[in-house]
Amino acid sequence: MSTPTEEPIDALQLAAERLTTSAIKVVRSLLAFTGIVAVAMGIILLVWPGKTMKVVAVLMGIYFLVIAVMRLWAGITAKGLPAGWRILDLFMALLLLLGGVFMVRNSALAGATLVLAIVIVVGVLWIFEGVLALVESGKHPNSGWSIAFGLLSILAGIIVIATPSWSAAALFVFTGVMLVITGITAIFRAVRFGKEALAALD
C-alpha cells in the first residue's frame, strides 16, 4: 500500500496531534495573550470618554505591535511547530509590525486622512489575520473556534474597508466591539487548542 503524501497546505496547519507538548503550550499562550490584549483594547475604545482618532490610531498601533512581537517570539523560539506555519507566522508578524509602526508614527495626520489610514491598515491586517487563522485550522474536527475567528476577522476587515466614510463615533464603536468579540473567540481557541492532544500525551 502507498502512504498518503502530505499536501503543501499541511505544512501550514496547526494540527495539535502532530505537535509536541511544548509547541502546543506556545500556541495556546500566543492565542490567549492575543485574545486578552484584543479584549482590553476593545474595552478601552468603548469606554474611554473624549477619545479622538489619534487615540484609536495609537491604540490599534500598540495592539498590532504587541501581537507582532508575540508572533515573532512564537515563530523564532518555539520548537516542534510546522516549518511552513513558522514562515507564515513570521510573515504575518512583519505585516503587523509595519502596520503598528505606521499607525503610531502617523497618528498626527489630519481628519479624513487619518480615518482613511486607520480604515486601510486595520481592514487589511484583520483580513490577513483571518486568512491565517483559516489556514491554521485546516480540516481538523476541533477547529471550530479557529474558523469562527478567521471568518469574523475577515468580515470585520471587509466591512471596515468597504465603508471608508466612517464617522469617528462609528469607527470607535465598531472597532471596539470587533476587538472584544475576536478577542473572546481567540481566548476560546486557546482553551480548546490541543486539549485532547495534551490529555493523550499526559
Highest mean pLDDT: which of 8-17, 19-28, 33-42?
Answer: 33-42
Mean pLDDT of the chain: 80
- Give me the domain span that covers residue 183: 19-196
Q: Is 160 helix (H, G, I), strand (E, B) or coil?
A: helix
Residue 201 belongs to a domain: no
pLDDT band at 198 (very low <50, low <70, confident <90, very high): low
Q: How far is CA 87 from CA 10, 14, 69, 116, in A?
A: 13, 13, 15, 30
CA distance 61 to 63: 5
Domains of the chain: total: 1
Residue 9 belongs to a domain: no
Contacts of 181 (CB under 8 A, 6+ apart): 42, 152
DSSP state of 78: -
> Does 89 have pLDDT greater than 90?
no
Segment 139-161, tens digit of pLDDT: 565 677 788 888 999 999 999 88
Q: Please, are residues 193 and 153 in contact by the beta-carbon 8 Å criterion? A: no
Q: Please, are residues 71 and 93 in contact by the beta-carbon 8 Å criterion? A: yes
CATH number at residue 24: 1.25.40
